[in-house]
Amino acid sequence: MSVTPETPAEPPVAFVAPPPGTRLSELLARYDELKDRRDALEAELKDLTESIKVEAAQTNPGATRLELSSPGLQTPLRMSYVETWRFDSTRFKKDDPHTYVRYAKKSSTWKLERARQR
């Protein structure tokens, strides 16, 4: 028998279509434009960041801390080699569900995402 926190059934969806000219209508009209711009900028920044890491690491092989400066930067950048440990909660939940339930904490937040096409 598997012991896990109960997942309630999904509540029904309340559909919202605000009248034109309302604050919510105006906010929704800007959402797609800003989200698309942000997504494009995030992808570009991620590629740029990875390229900087590769190029900078090649300038000093074996170094674990670098400070990067350039006339094009507002302030210098610091790059460090970092090793981390992660806790594999999925495996822990599978291997020891009784202990997992004792330490699991429920949290909640509003999540905004694109709806599936009907």
- Domain coordinates of the chain in residue numbers? 23-101
Each residue's pLDDT expressed in tens, for the chain with a length of 118 residues: 555 567 778 888 889 999 999 999 999 999 989 999 999 999 999 999 999 999 999 999 999 999 999 999 999 999 999 999 999 999 999 999 999 999 999 999 988 888 887 6
Residue-level pLDDT at 9? 85
Report the pLDDT value the prediction gives residue 2, as an integer from 0 to 100. 54
**Whole-number pLDDT of residue 81:** 95
- Predicted confidence (pLDDT) per residue in 19-34, tens digit: 999 999 999 999 989 9
Distances (CA, A) of 9 to 1, 56, 59, 117: 20, 51, 55, 21
